[in-house]
Amino acid sequence: MGYLSLLAFLGAFVLAALGSTYYMEHNGHWVTGMNNQIVWGMPHVFAVFLIVAASGALNVASISSVFNQKIYKPLAPLSTLLALALLIGGLMILVLDLGRPDRLIVAMTKYNFKSIFAWNMILYNGFFVIVGVYAWFMLDRTMKKYSRYAGFAAFIWRLALTTGTGSIFGFLVARPGYDMAMMAPMFIIMSFSFGLAIYLLVLMASYNWTNRPLGDVVVNRLRKLLGVFVAAVLYFVIVYHLTNLYATEHHGFEAFMLLGDSGGSKYSSIFWIGQILLGSLIPLAMIYAPGVANCRKTLATACVLIIIGGLAQMYTIIIGGQAYPMEIFPGMEVLESTFADGVTTIYSASLPEILLGLGGMAMSMIVVALGIKVLSFLPQSLADDVADPHYKAE
Amino acid sequence: MIEKTINFSRRSFVGKTATAAAGISIAPGVFLHQVANAKPADQAATSEVRWGMLINTNKCATGCTACVSACNEENGIQSNDRPESDPQWIRKVKLRDTQTGHVTSLPMMCQHCENPPCVDVCPTGASMKREDGIVLVDKHICIGCRYCMMACPYKARSFVHETITDQKDYAPRGKGTVESCTMCVHRVDDGGTPACVEACNAAEHGAMIFGDLKDPQSEISKELEKHGGKQIRADLRLNTGVRYQGI
Amino acid sequence: MLQLKQLMHKSLLAILGSAAIAASSIAVADSALLDIAKAKSDQCVADTKEMRANHMEKILHQRDKTLREGIRTKQHSLKECINCHVEKNSAARFGDNKHFCSSCHNFAAVTIDCFQCHADRPDSDKKHSLNTSSFPHYADNSAEGVSK
């Protein structure tokens, strides 16, 4: 595929997203799948996924700068570019799904400092500045000596950013699916996994398309790291559900999410099939199976599955958490209500919402494609003899 | 910040004007109750009062929706026949105690918390609480992010999903912003009573009392002192301004 | 940017203002853009020049006072603007050149979002303020020196 046709292909998705936004804002959000029970729908699934992945895409740069691993140094600039690109895509979706996207300026100028959401806006804006400076220091020979400090600042900032994103959900005391401090660390580890999966895909694709050599040493290091992250996410998911299972008051929610009780079968299917099987177990097998250690196609498939699993996880967290009826009247059964009290809400994403989400992803990829073309984010070669300081020809 | 200039206290003002203001009729048969409490138009709401409501669920009639109709009428809330996305500021809920089987009926709306989660989470400060305890959405700076709807433990808020025209001039509402019960703040500032309470009284159920929780002489305070009143989800310690009896 | 916009706004209004004077003294045919709804400036809360230049600041100031503090004086309230400047059950809605606000805002291309939430014509239940007294905005604002 030619470079221009790639841009045109991605651009079509972005245009579709803008068209969807116009359609939703012109008619009002009733044309989407959202309603007064499920207020954050498919756009938020994509947006939060991309924002979380943005922070994780910075992993490689952090390992090189903060933990001083030489083999990762040439990989670091792409890592910063991808981080910025993913955040741009995620925020694009988030803003275009607002009830009043025309008031973005209000969101940027009026802050309620008690709100974790307001802090997130500061964290996102700061992320652009700090990671931007970090990328500049790495690419500019005269500033290179400071890149380590910028890298350290970026590392701290990205941890804060994902803590903030996780806390958006963790601080919601009234909803049984959310109210848990563990949301913040869980989101951090999710960011590691999703971000690295996207990074590996972009790395392999861009080296493939530009006919640059990419050796197994670098790829296998990242592959093993990815395996650890996927396992860590799985661990956090298990602990999250065990914690809920310990408290009797949360048993209803767990039965809903794990067993599909009280009309939650859609969400439990997405949990078991999407998040656990496709998103965790199969990728783990593909990463660690001895026979496919150097197989790029297997690794790429695993990365795609991790991304699908990540979206499934966001779906169960964001939409499943809202669909489960909130307990407004403890000890009471709701016999009648005009506002869906005590009733599970079934959400079906509308086409414009899905197009908006995909458009955000396409936007991220456009930024990466342009960045790679214009600036030297990619080293000419990552063949084993170049990349590995301990390389010995066999 | 806007300067607050309060030249004289509410009570002394009430003393001077009570006789003059009491019993004004605005239309045949409709009286401005409690008009003696009317705050002068040029004075800010103060924390000397806290507006609240007390709902006696034993008096609330099953199947009666007078409060809901009155609210919709008063605030110009119209249905588009899409119940999932139509705004609802107040709704009737019928409940059964799973232990005792006792069935209750009650109106549910914004509980006007002292510590409102919607105000805490709002990124721009559009969700706000007035000095007198009424929780409102400042639609001028609401960006429609819906985080308040995620945070509210009572599902009291609605997102305006469709274009609205010909709003009531005292109740501006518009597409893309979030809204909820205002405790009929325009009436309250005028010394009046929320439309739902008035309708409940007109239907001769008398299940709703509106008044100043900080005035020990008010009807609501006396009733609360005598018979008590529960908060819904008291475990969240939000100190709601709307209290219930009989649940 | 903002300053430039304001400058453009002001100069456009100046042009508009002088054009309006010309239009009132000489009969000008087919000038739909200048067909401004009656302003009744002699009864407004400030003179026409002041209102044309600064009405938005007055309304903005009042909006926060009313919503956040419950100060409901009528002098600078948008509701009273509409009660005076738009006929009850007016056929001209916001966006039409014949609506008082649109007549200028369309011409000056200044977008406002007031009427996404606020009613763009008086509540039909209420009497038209202009018919009730010669100084409607001051009518029951006996406590002087308030929202100045």
Cross-chain residue pair B41–C122, CB shorter than 8 Å: no
* CATH number assigned to the domain covering B49-245: 3.30.70.20
What is the rounded average pLDDT for all residues in chain B? 88
d(CA B72, CA B89): 8
Name the residue facing B161 among A28, A37, A328 (closest C-beta).
Answer: A28
Q: Which residues of A touch B236 (CB under 8 A)?
A: 173-174
Among B residues 85-104, those touching chain A with beta carbons less than 8 Å apart? 85-88, 91-99, 103-104
Distant-in-sequence, close-in-space partners of B65: CB < 8 Å, separation ≥ 6: B92
Contacts of B177 in chain C (CB under 8 A): 117
pLDDT tens digits along C87-117: 888 888 999 988 999 989 999 999 999 999 9
Question: Between residues B197 and C40, which one has the greater pLDDT?
Answer: B197
What local confidence, expressed as pLDDT, does residue A317 receive? Answer: 96
Q: Does domain A7-327+344-377 have CATH number 1.20.1630.10?
A: yes
For A62-80, the pLDDT digits (tens) are 888 888 888 888 899 999 9
* Cα four-point dihedral sign C95, C97, C100, C105: positive
**Amino acid at the residue B199:** A
Percent of chain A with pLDDT over 90: 77
* Residue A113 contacts B, CB cutoff 8 Å: no
Q: How high is the pLDDT of residue A171? A: 87
Q: Which two tokens stand for residue A185?
A: 């660390």
Query: What does residue C96 show for φ and ψ, rounded to 5 degrees?
Result: -75, 145
Give yes or no for B151 touching A (CB within 8 A): yes
Give the Cβ contact number of residue A169 at 10 Å. 23
pLDDT for position C129: 45
Give the model's confidence band at B219: pLDDT under 50 very low, under 70 low, under 90 confident, else very high: very high
Say whether pLDDT at C35 is over 80: no
What is the nearest CA distance from C77 to chain B, expressed in angstroms? 11
Rounded alpha-carbon distances, angstroms, from residue A85 to A57, A58, A128, A360: 10, 11, 10, 10
pLDDT at res. C83? 86
Alpha carbons A205 and A213: distance in angstroms, whole number: 12
pLDDT reading at B7 higher than 70 = no
User: What is the identity of the amino acid at A191?
Assistant: S
pLDDT tens figures, B135-147: 999 999 999 999 9
**Cα-trace Rg, chain B:** 18
- Judging contacts by C-beta atoms under 8 Å, the chain B residues touching residue A332 are 95-98, 104, 247
Q: At what angle do helices A351-374 and A3-27 cross, to 10 degrees?
A: 140
Mutate to test the interface with B, among C60, C72, C79 (most CBs of B within 10 A): C72
Asked if C68 and B189 come within 8 Å (Cβ–Cβ), the reply is no
Q: Which of C65, C72, C79 sits opposite B2 (nearest CB)?
A: C65
Between CA B246 and CA B230 the distance in angstroms is 8
List the single residue in B with minimal CA-CA distance to C143.
B42
State the nearest Cα–Cα gap between C21 and chain B, in angstroms. Answer: 32
pLDDT at C63: 92
A188-202, A308-322, B150-164, C13-27: the lowest-pLDDT one: C13-27
The answer to whether residue A114 neighbours chain B at the CB level (below 8 Å) is yes
Tell me if B42 and C146 make a contact (CB, 8 A cut-off). Answer: yes
d(CA B215, CA B222): 9
Residue A69's pLDDT is 83
Give the pLDDT score at B37.
Answer: 60
Q: Taking the domains of chain B in order of start, what are their residue ranges? A: 49-245
Mean pLDDT along residues B14-40: 48
Q: Report the percentage of chain B scoring pLDDT > 70.
A: 85
Please calculate the CA angle A286-A386-A74 and round it to the nearest 5 degrees.
75
pLDDT of amino acid A1: 61
Name chain B contacts of C83, Cβ cutoff 8 Å: 169
Longest pairwise C-alpha distance within chain B: 55
Tens of each residue's pLDDT in chain A, 394 residues: 688 999 999 999 999 999 999 999 999 999 999 999 999 999 999 999 999 999 999 989 988 888 888 888 889 999 999 999 999 999 999 999 999 999 999 999 999 999 999 999 999 999 999 999 999 999 888 988 898 999 999 999 999 999 999 999 998 988 988 988 899 999 999 999 999 999 999 999 999 988 888 988 889 999 999 999 999 999 999 999 999 999 888 899 999 999 999 889 999 999 999 999 999 999 999 999 988 888 999 999 999 999 999 999 999 999 999 999 999 999 999 999 999 999 999 899 999 999 999 999 999 999 999 999 888 788 878 888 777 767 665 5
* A99/B146 Cβ within 8 A: yes
d(CA A303, CA A200): 7
Contact C79 B175 (CB under 8 A): no
Hey, of B169, B173, B184, which one would you mutate to test binding to chain C, going by the most C CBs within 10 A of its CB? B169
Q: How far is CA A292 from CA A207, A289, B227, in A?
A: 20, 6, 74
Between chain B and chain C, the number of residue pairs with CB atoms below 8 A apart is 76
For residue A394, give every residue at least 6 positions away whose Cβ sits within 8 Å of its Cβ, in sequence order, or none.
none
